Amino acid sequence: MNARMERDLNREEFQRYHDVIYKIAGIHYPTEKLALLSNRIRKRLRATSTPSFDIYLARIQQAGEAVEQQAFLDSITTNETYFFRCQRHWDFFKTWIAQRAADATKRREPLRIWSAAASTGAEAFTILIVLHQVLGTGFGGVQVEVLGTDLSSQVLEEARRGAFRAYALAQTPPPIVKQYFTKNDKDDFLFDRTLARCVTFQRHNLMEPLLGGRMFDFVFLRNVMIYFDGPSRERVLRHMHAVMRPGSHLIVGESESLLSVKHSFQYVKPSIFVKPTGAPTAPRVTA
């Protein structure tokens, strides 16, 4: 990288990167984040010995540059996550499992839960812990499928390893850490191998519909819509709605209001929504 590239993006360069990121991932980088974005891209310029922001931008838009485009997306996403994030959500989920998990068995279908924007997997593994705590060994005979998806391939690789630093477990009660994790010689906490078999991690861009015909009973879509503007939020909510069973629940991040966003979910309580049974097809605006 050229010494001149120690500078930040200028306004025009920032706008060009903004538009490409928005087009691919629906992520809206506000101008206040210019320094952060510059920093993240500079790391890719260094890693690829690219002399300028413009040359790198042209490269990642070329057909045949899928690997570098993915490395770019990995670098511009924010992947903060930890186990038992927002206890109120897990309390709701616990009650929901106790009341609803048996429905899946009656339907003779797996209970399907989606951790959308899963990052390194702490949310998907928390789902498994809570299911295990409520339903017991073998999930009490309920067949369980947890799907964890993310735009970033790098975090998904970490999720598949199921190894976490102590930071990710800071909100987890010690008896749970003891029951579901083993510590290795690098001080990583390894998630229970048997339970981990119930989760599949898959790359998926929330701007696209999820294919495969699976219908979900519960969806966690937390702490990702903060990076989206109104139209991107509406798009992702439409995609979620399409793969959720009537009567299924959606949880969004605590700070993510759906106010002023068109969607077809019914408000249950702060950050918790339900897809109505006999759901209307036309979206409407609700809190």
Cβ closest to ligand SAM, residue 111 vs residue 236: 236
CB of 155 to ligand SAM, least distance (A): 5
Cβ closest to ligand SAM, residue 223 vs residue 248: 223
Q: For residue 187, what are its two tokens?
A: 């001080």
Cβ closest to ligand SAM, residue 42 vs residue 85: 85
CB of 6 to ligand SAM, least distance (A): 27
CB of 156 to ligand SAM, least distance (A): 9
Cβ closest to ligand SAM, residue 76 vs residue 135: 76
Longest Cα–Cα distance of the chain, Å, equals 65
CB of 284 to ligand SAM, least distance (A): 24
Interface residues with ligand SAM (CB under 6 A) are 25-27, 77-81, 85, 117, 119, 123, 150-152, 155, 205-207, 222-224, 227
CB of 157 to ligand SAM, least distance (A): 12
CA distance 231 to 208: 13
DSSP characters over 204-273: --TTSPPPS---EEEEEE-SSGGGB-HHHHHHHHHHHHHTEEEEEEEEE-TT---TT-EE--EEEETTEE
Cβ closest to ligand SAM, residue 12 vs residue 80: 80
CA distance 43 to 255: 30
Q: For residue 57, what are its two tokens?
A: 């931008």
Decide if 2 contacts 52 (C-beta within 8 A).
yes
